[in-house]
Amino acid sequence: MNRFIDLANTIKDENVGTHVISAAMMSASAVYATYVSAGNEGGLTESGMEKVIDAYRHQMQQVQAMKKAEFDRANEAS
């Protein structure tokens, strides 16, 4: 994860917009998730896409919970 973030920050420092970088990272993730699930020879079915979407949703929920906990700790310390 940190290597991808480092790369994104390097690209940002080349004056590419963060919204463009984020979209590119999401596209790359979608392509790779499809490859992992279906290989190079096919695409995901509707249920396969739902599984990937659910996995992504779970990751987002974990990240947001971690960010909220960091925020709460910082506020308690100040």
pLDDT of residue 64: 97
Q: Give me the helix-helix angle, 18-38 and 2-12, nearest 10°.
A: 140
CB 8 within 8 Å of CB 21: yes
Query: Per the confidence metrics, is the pTM higher than 0.75?
Result: yes
Q: What is the pLDDT of residues 15-72, one digit of tens each?
A: 999 999 999 999 999 999 999 988 888 899 999 999 999 999 999 999 999 999 999 9
Which of 66, 58, 56 has its CA nearest to residue 33?
A: 56
pLDDT of residue 15: 98
pLDDT of residue 37: 87
Q: Domain residues of the chain, as ranges?
A: 1-43, 45-78
